[in-house]
Chains A and B, each alone.
Chain A
Amino acid sequence: MTRFLVTTLGLWLLAFASAFGAEGAHHALPLDAQPLHESLPITNSITMVWLAVILIVIFCQIATRKMSLVPTGFQNFAEWVVESLYTFLEGLMGAHLTKRTFWFFGSIFFFILVTNYLGLIPGVGTVTYGGTPILRGGNADINMTAAMAFTFAILWIYWAISENGLKGFIAHIFAPKGVKGFLFWTLMPLFIFVGFLEIISIAIRPVALSFRLFGNIYGGEQTLEKLMALVPDYLAFLPSLPFYFMELLVGFVQALVFTLLCAIFLKLICDHGDEHESH
């Protein structure tokens, strides 16, 4: 019942947002991050990322300052979080790959999560200086999401080649799988064509990763802004309030989705070696 009411209210407010689109245009969050100063390559999303880095450093310092075998307080919480994610990824990628790559997947998950939640702090995107928001959600900037996605793409190639060898890597993309002899050579042209399609798919992955995260976070922030613009300023918090809870969920889900997709892409390319050996 509650879910129904929230959904109905949301749709109703969204309908109003569309209706008053012209009026709310000045409230719209721009698609691109705004530079804070013309001479510096620093945008409002970069400052947000720095803030996230500072928060992460502070948390890590508190959590790991006095490490003991019997954990308490922050150390306990940090260990629980790290161990949970590690175990989850281990179930997905296997012990070897997780041990080798956890530093990246752990970083990407926690960074996206912290940045997404920081973007929900009141004032982010709304407090402006000279018409430019001082802070903007880190992942509501395509440069940030692309930086993560393309970094992963490069690491993916490195890990794939180091795990399979160059020959195995190429064979994984182009060679027929599960067939031998005459059938192998007959299917070869087809699989070479499929291999080229696979390369295109691989090339598009970072783009898809970038835009998926950017779209979800930007869309969420845009929704909140539009909803706030529907009512007088002193009631601006009210229509967006239910969506803040949804954005909390979206922030976590998107961090998980980005991490999981990266982990699955890596698992798929590294699975070839085991599969090949088993035949």
Chain B
Amino acid sequence: MMTLLATAAEHPNALEALSKTFGLHGAFFAAQVVNFFLVIIVLKKFAFGPIQAMLEQRRERIVAGEEKLKRIEKQLADSEATTAAAIAKANEDAIRLVAEAKQGAAAFTEQKAQEAIAQAQQILTKAEAAANADRERISAELKREFGRLVASTTTQVTGKVLTSDDQHRINAEALAKVGN
């Protein structure tokens, strides 16, 4: 570098000679600068601008997609947890309802059984009462028939027409002997 500077100092027209040798020309240089800026503007406007915008848009979309995916995964996990909780709750409710139903059914069965027992008891009581009534009625008829037969027999045996009092008395005596 120092040698270059020394050479430049020794030959003040070195730059001019260099320019002449290699054809460095002010107007051509300016024209090429303009051309170069033209290239830059063209590439920036028509190539790098749209392409970089598209790349950026795609990058943003990928980032948004990733975020969305994470959100969806979280929502899915939440949904699965909610579903599991709902299923567990439903299961608990079902168990409780079945237990309640069983309990209710047992109570109902008991109630119906009690009712049936009560009805049976009632029927039995009624039947007993009816039987007693029939027995009383038959007994009264038998007594009456027996009294009539006794009175008839007594009349035939004794040949005596019995009065109403006689008949009552004979009936009462006969029934007193048979009654027990």
Contacts and interface: CB of A to CB of B under 8 A. Distances in A.
B43 interface: yes
Given A60-B46, A64-B51, A151-B36, A46 B57 contact: no
A147 B1 contact: no
| Chain B residues touching A, majority SS | helix
Interface in B39-77: 39-40, 42-44, 46-48, 50-52, 54-55, 57-58, 61
Interface residues of B, number: 35
Contacts of A63: 47, 51
Contacts of A61: 46
A79 B55 contact: yes
B35 A53 contact: yes
B39 A147 contact: no
Contact of B47 (A43, A64, A141, A144): A64
Given A82-B52, A102-B48, A144-B32, A41 B42 contact: no
Interface in A119-140: none
Given A41-B28, A82-B47, A147 B55 contact: no
The listed residue with most B CB atoms (<10 A of its CB), out of A30, A64, A102, A104, is A64
B25 A78 contact: no
A146 B29 CA distance: 7
| Chain A residues touching B, majority SS | helix
B88 to A, nearest CB: 44
A216 to B, nearest CB: 14
B6 interface: no
A143 B29 contact: yes
B12 interface: no
A200 B57 contact: no
Given A56-B43, A61-B46, A83 B29 contact: no
Interface stretch (B16-24, B97-105, B106-114): B16-24
Contacts of B61: 69
B51 A107 contact: no
Nearest to A214: B22
B31 interface: yes
Nearest to B42: A57
A67 B43 contact: no
Interface residues of A, number: 50
Contact of A53 (B5, B31, B38, B58): B38
A143 B54 CA distance: 35
A33 B21 CA distance: 11
Nearest to A69: B58
B23 A32 contact: yes
A166 to B, nearest CB: 26
A106 interface: yes
A143 B1 contact: no
Interface in A187-218: 197, 200-201, 204, 214
B46 to A, nearest CB: 4
A33 B28 contact: yes
Given A41-B28, A64-B51, A103-B48, 20 more contacts: A31-B21, A31-B22, A32-B21, A32-B22, A32-B23, A49-B35, A52-B39, A53-B39, A60-B42, A64-B47, A71-B54, A79-B54, A82-B52, A86-B52, A102-B52, A111-B43, A144-B32, A146-B32, A148-B36, A200-B5
18 contacts: A32-B21, A46-B32, A49-B32, A56-B42, A57-B42, A69-B57, A71-B54, A75-B54, A82-B52, A102-B48, A107-B40, A107-B48, A141-B23, A142-B23, A147-B35, A148-B36, A151-B33, A197-B1
Report the 3 A-B pairs with minimum CB-CB distance, sorted nearest first.
Answer: A32-B23, A60-B46, A147-B32
Interface of A: 30-33, 41-43, 45-46, 49-50, 52-53, 56-57, 59-61, 63-64, 67, 69, 71, 75, 78-79, 82-83, 86, 102-104, 106-107, 110-111, 141-144, 146-148, 150-151, 197, 200-201, 204, 214
